[in-house]
Structure 1
Amino acid sequence: MEPSKRTVAIWDSFTYWWGRRSLQSRLIAAYIFIILGPCLAVSFYSYKAINNTYIRNAIDKNDYLLQMEKLHINTQIEAMERAAQMAYSNKEVKNYLMNESEPQLGELVDFNTNAYINMMQIQFNNPNIEHLQVYSNNKYVHEIWPIFYSEERVINEPWYQEAMNLMGPELWSFQMSDPDLMQRYVDQSTVNKPKVSLLREINIPAGNHIGMIQVDMMLDRFTPKTYTKIRDGQSQMFLIDDKFQLFTRSDYSFLHENGEMAQAITDRLQLYRKTGEWNINYKENGKSFLLINTPLDGMDANLLNVVSMENVMKDISRTRNLIIGLNIGFIVLVTLIAYVMNAFILQNLRRLTDAMKKVRRGESYKVITIRGGGEVGELAHHFSKLMNTINKLVAQAVQKEVLSKEAELHTLHNQIDTHFLYNTLENIKMLAEMENQQTISDALTSLGGMMRYNFKWSSEYVKLRDEIRHIENYIEVMNIRFEYPVELAIQIESTYLEVEVLKMSLQPIVENSVKHAWTEGEEELTNRIIQIEISEAEGDIYIEITDNGAGIDPLKLSTLNESIYSEVPPPSDFSGSRGGVVRAGGIGLRNVNQRLKLFYGEAYGLRIRSEVGRGTTVSMTLPRVLLTGEQQR
């Protein structure tokens, strides 16, 4: 396909796709296209200006640090020059160096007491000075450590020869080590610690060499920022002498990862000393650096600050991202404004579309009124008629479901009440046959409370304290038939007694425990306990009813659970299992479980745990709600 035909095909595809977009989408796209160009131009200009500002600030900041370090170095230079001048001006030292005969003992003692002490005082007054040393080639001058030495110790040093060749002016010399001239130990190694030395030849009279003065200072004191122990990883100072030796810290140095940096610094310094031109920018290994240089007057040396641009570039990158984010935010804002305006312009169609979407999501429909008529108004009218018809059908279905549930609940109530009354009357019959009238009177009192509670069904919900009292009455009635009664242990805090529960939801569980927890032949047991406990977690109440009966074996427990949770009632001839809290197929637990789910939801109900010989526990889960209907949090 030719390029022109391919271009036409692409354009036709785009126009077809564009034509299928909604009017609102096309309007928003037009707004974005209109503002995108100016935004890009402004952003480019702003980014360039901010980039230059960051770099300028980095240069100014580090140049300031460099000048402060230079000021410190100048202070140290003045201290060294002052020390050298004081030593040079000492007449007693000059006389000692000009001895033409062996000095007497008294003269040496007097010199040591006066002149030597004065020389030591010079160094003491300047603690940054490491050494103050005087060298002499006079055979009548004795070495007095650590100040006076023979020139033979240093005569072969290059810096000594350079100082001699100057014939009087001061010489500054930078050295990588500080040797011990006294050599007090055999095979003593040189201390690898760089220093700077100020050398001045003593000529008296002019042209007559009698000695040399040397003032030493360690570079970590001479230029502390060059040898700083603070490792920020963003800058490093270098001191470069007239021989282009680089003095700097050895650890965390830029030179370790940038092998060509040292040569680049040397080359630029050579060009700078010839032409005065200096290139501040340097790149290596994909990293950018600033080389900020300043000369040290009078020493023929330079102080250099190498600054990593990594943090600066990160700041610039964050600024760029901020600008991009602002542009995106501005475009989004304009898009939202355009969306709101278009929605206002097309509000009738929008309202109808939203109403249809809500109905599709299952939300309730509210009648909408479309003003202005037209096709949109007619469509809204027919849609409203359709939704009214659907709502009527839904209301009829809901009413039928409500009536069905009410009938089901009524049936459950009747089943529970009939079952309970039948068992109660059987107990009273046994009492009349076995006991005297006083006992019958007590039993009837408890039974009356039970019957009043049972028949007064004005609400589905009661306080937990009322349900507990009903259970206590039931246990008192049932204990009439046992020689060794069942003990009811209630462990419930008073704060939970106001919680609402379904009426007759706990009593059937206790009833099944009384009747089925202890098998025949175990009536004589003296330690029959039913324990009721309550706990709370995540807004739900957990009530546990535990007996210490025979328990249920796993197979029968599984069958029991299937019967309780099944939606279909068990057949009338269902084979039940004894020894548990309830017979599989009995109405007690199944009815309670169904009521809990009907009133509270599928998340609530009963759960049964049991072990043979260790008793059975029925756990009931329900929401913590006060009797007023307010759910507690």
Structure 2
Amino acid sequence: MRERTGALWNSFRYWLGRRSLQSRLVVAYIFIILGPSLLVSFYSYKAINNTYMRDSIEKNSYLLQMEKLHVLNQIEAMERAAQMAYSDKTVQNYLINESDPTLGELIDFNTTSFVNLSQIQFNNPNIEHLYLYSSSNNMYELWPVIFRESRVSMEPWFQKALRVEGRNMWAFQNSDIDLMLRFSEEVEQGQPKVSLLREISIPAGHHIGMIQVDMLLSKFTPKTYTSVQDNESQMILADDELNLFARTDNSFLQNNSGLNAAIKDRLAAFRKTGEWQMDYKENGNSFMLIQAPLEQINASLVTVVSMKGVMMDISRTRNLIIGVNIGFIFLVTAIAYVLNAFILKNLRRLTETMKRVRRGEPYGSIRVSGGGEVGELAHHFSKLMNTINTLVAQAVHKQALSKEAELRTLHNQIDAHFLYNTLENIKMLAEIENQRTISDALTRLGGMMRYNFKWTGEYVKLKDEIRHIQNYIEVMNIRFEHTIGLELNIDSAYLEVEVLKMSLQPIVENSVKHAWNADGVELTDRVVRIDITEAEGDIFIALRDNGLGLTPQQLAQLHEAIYAKEEPGADPSGTSSGGYKSGGVGLRNVHQRLQLFYGEEYGLEVQSEAGKWTTVFMSLPKVLLTGDN
């Protein structure tokens, strides 16, 4: 994919590079305008999209909360009705009665308590039924309120109500069959309902009967079973067992087979984790699922909102934004093309003149009306052509002089092999005369010359630089009266590390020339020590001498010579007291080379203690020229 994108980009660059300046300027204007335009359009579209979505969610959430408030009022009404029936002592005694009541007792109960029970339902017209069941088989049934519980004892909801032991239990059913017609031939399919069931235990733990308060779901949650056709939203009620209750006509559940399972899965997840997922898609349709829990009855209200209308509004807005952008870009392109044609007219005249000159036609002159960059370019082009005519004549003369200089340079060149062979001949004469010291010195000197002349690259192995330093020390020991010792504290693993060629030798040479030179002072046991350590992938080389060291003032001047930035007209040799003038230049050169090849974080650092020692620390990255690391 990346290669394909790169190939397309290169093709576009090639195509654009072959277009005229006017065309490229128009393309540039389009891209300059297209970027901010797309950015503004994207954020505008995103803001409009979020606004539509937020308004839809807020609107349906408000309706859902209003419906929840209505459901809570119905729950309170049903609980109040059940409590009134439960707290009537006369009713309790009638349900407990195991003997046949007298006619007077029946008349008295019917004219007082039974009327009160009927009044409860009359005062709450939304309540469909108020049933009281007695466990006594000798109790007279007073239809349509009081029944023996043997009529319903085998119902699943009745058994569940017994298990909750006197607490309210809510049962949702898809049909409400009249109890008085249940055992007759006139069985009709009822409407979905919700029942409040509560066991009557007097005293506590002694079962005497059951209270049932029924309400049709169309009254319990009217928006769930509303007859008003709404293609944008549908409200659904889910009970504690995740059974869904909703209208059957024009239902989202029937038209989308996976919606039922999706609502159940999300309700189950919500009851476990408290997190609710709103977005849902099926058959290319987008829905928003909004839910409100009904904690009192362990149920939930869910509103399914179809986003089809919202998406259509968003799509129209998107198309409008795209159309405006396209029209704006076309308008800007046309204006830019006309203006560029007028501005670049003189540039095209200059271009045609250049083409004629390139073909070898004689150049006369060119006049460009107006000023600006194009007029200045035409003026300089005329000057350039006059200068070229002058330089052509000079070029022939310079070419002849150059050939003569090359021949003279060939005669002045010195063959490096001639010097090596001469040193070898002198070495052989010294060995014939048994002058071993001279022979060894010539060997060391030859090695130094080969190392210096053989400059095949900037980097060498550390062992090659160390060998060069050893040759240099041996040659210097011949020159000076006092022998200089070289101590190496280098692990063999670091000998393959790459270093800049001639980076260590100038530092050693600096110590040899300046560390032990002082008027009236003689030092013995002159030693240069080289140590190597490693930290965090970097190499630190310490070159230490036991010379006279530097005073703080001398060290400050040396630091200034090493680290100071070059200024025009400044003396490149640098200055430093105590004989460190040339030493500062050598160290400065090494420091600059290290930073040039490795980076600003690497280089040299000088530390010294007057009368005792001087140490030059070199930092560079660890890079192995050979080996497994």
- Residue aligning to 1:50: 48
Confirm whether residue 127 of structure 1 aligns to residue 139 of structure 2.
Answer: no
Query: 1:71 is matched by which residue type in structure 2?
Result: L
Aligned pair partner of 1:240 in 232, 238, 243: 238
Contact 1:177–1:190, Cα closer than 8 Å, also in 2: no
Query: 1:217 is matched by which residue type in structure 2?
Result: M
When residues 114 and 6 of structure 1 are mapped into structure 2, their CA distance, relative to the original with a 3 A threshold, is: closer
- Residue aligning to 2:348: none
Aligned pair partner of 1:327 in 325, 328, 353: 325
When residues 259 and 184 of structure 1 are mapped into structure 2, their CA distance, relative to the original with a 3 A threshold, is: closer
Q: What are the Cα deviations for residues 84-114 of structure 1, in whole angstroms up to 9, with x where unaligned?
A: 1111112221121122321111221121111
- Residue aligning to 2:247: 249
Contact 1:173–1:196, Cα closer than 8 Å, also in 2: yes
Deviation at 1:329, TM superposition (A): 3.6
Query: 2:167 is matched by which residue type in structure 1?
Result: P
- C-alpha separation between the residues in 2 aligned to 1:87 and 1:171? 16
Confirm whether residue 70 of structure 1 aligns to residue 54 of structure 2.
Answer: no
Contact 1:103–1:140, Cα closer than 8 Å, also in 2: no
- Residue aligning to 1:317: 315
Q: What are the Cα deviations for residues 310-337 of structure 1, in whole angstroms up to 9, with x where unaligned?
A: 1111121122112212212432443465
Contact 1:280–1:291, Cα closer than 8 Å, also in 2: yes
Deviation at 1:34, TM superposition (A): 2.5
Q: What are the Cα deviations for residues 297-316 of structure 1, in whole angstroms up to 9, with x where unaligned?
A: 12111111111111111121
Contact 2:200–2:210, Cα closer than 8 Å, also in 1: yes
Contact 2:98–2:139, Cα closer than 8 Å, also in 1: no
When residues 185 and 215 of structure 1 are mapped into structure 2, their CA distance, relative to the original with a 3 A threshold, is: closer
Aligned pair partner of 2:219 in 211, 218, 221: 221
Query: 2:97 is matched by which residue type in structure 1?
Result: N
- Once the two structures are superposed, the pairs formed by residues 411-422 of structure 1 within 5 Å of their partners are none
Contact 1:171–1:199, Cα closer than 8 Å, also in 2: yes
- Residue aligning to 2:581: none
Runs of 4+ in 1 over 4 A off after TM superposition: 3-16, 23-30, 335-347
- Residue aligning to 2:32: 34
Deviation at 1:189, TM superposition (A): 2.9
Aligned pair partner of 1:308 in 295, 306, 309: 306
Deviation at 1:249, TM superposition (A): 0.7
- C-alpha separation between the residues in 1 aligned to 2:23 and 2:187? 83
TM-score by length of 1: 0.50
Q: Secondary structure at the match of 1:298?
A: helix
Q: Secondary structure at the match of 2:141?
A: coil
Q: What are the Cα deviations for residues 550-572 of structure 1, in whole angstroms up to 9, with x where unaligned?
A: xxxxxxxxxxxxxxxxxxxxxxx
Confirm whether residue 189 of structure 1 aligns to residue 187 of structure 2.
Answer: yes
- Residue aligning to 2:173: 175
Q: What are the Cα deviations for residues 482-517 of structure 1, in whole angstroms up to 9, with x where unaligned?
A: xxxxxxxxxxxxxxxxxxxxxxxxxxxxxxxxxxxx
- C-alpha separation between the residues in 2 aligned to 1:337 and 1:106? 106
Confirm whether residue 297 of structure 1 aligns to residue 295 of structure 2.
Answer: yes
Contact 1:163–1:171, Cα closer than 8 Å, also in 2: yes
- Residue aligning to 1:164: 162
Contact 2:71–2:221, Cα closer than 8 Å, also in 1: yes
When residues 326 and 13 of structure 1 are mapped into structure 2, their CA distance, relative to the original with a 3 A threshold, is: closer
- C-alpha separation between the residues in 1 aligned to 2:263 and 2:41? 37
Query: 1:232 is matched by which residue type in structure 2?
Result: D
- C-alpha separation between the residues in 2 aligned to 1:203 and 1:48? 62
- Once the two structures are superposed, the pairs formed by residues 61-460 of structure 1 within 5 Å of their partners are 61-183=59-181, 186-335=184-333, 338=336
When residues 340 and 115 of structure 1 are mapped into structure 2, their CA distance, relative to the original with a 3 A threshold, is: farther
Deviation at 1:134, TM superposition (A): 0.6
Deviation at 1:186, TM superposition (A): 4.3
- C-alpha separation between the residues in 2 aligned to 1:13 and 1:148? 94
Deviation at 1:49, TM superposition (A): 2.4
- C-alpha separation between the residues in 1 aligned to 2:37 and 2:182? 77
Q: Secondary structure at the match of 2:98?
A: coil
Deviation at 1:59, TM superposition (A): 1.6
- C-alpha separation between the residues in 1 aligned to 2:279 and 2:10? 50
- C-alpha separation between the residues in 1 aligned to 2:272 and 2:65? 23
Query: 2:270 is matched by which residue type in structure 1?
Result: Y
- C-alpha separation between the residues in 1 aligned to 2:38 and 2:73? 53
Deviation at 1:185, TM superposition (A): 7.8
> Identity rate of aligned residues, in percent?
62
Q: What are the Cα deviations for residues 391-417 of structure 1, in whole angstroms up to 9, with x where unaligned?
A: xxxxxxxxxxxxxxxxxxxxxxxxxxx
Query: 1:146 is matched by which residue type in structure 2?
Result: P
Q: Secondary structure at the match of 2:180?
A: coil
Q: Secondary structure at the match of 1:130?
A: strand
Deviation at 1:11, TM superposition (A): 7.0
- C-alpha separation between the residues in 2 aligned to 1:204 and 1:167? 12
- C-alpha separation between the residues in 2 aligned to 1:41 and 1:199? 61
- Once the two structures are superposed, the pairs formed by residues 474-489 of structure 1 within 5 Å of their partners are none
- C-alpha separation between the residues in 1 aligned to 2:14 and 2:200? 97
- Residue aligning to 1:517: none
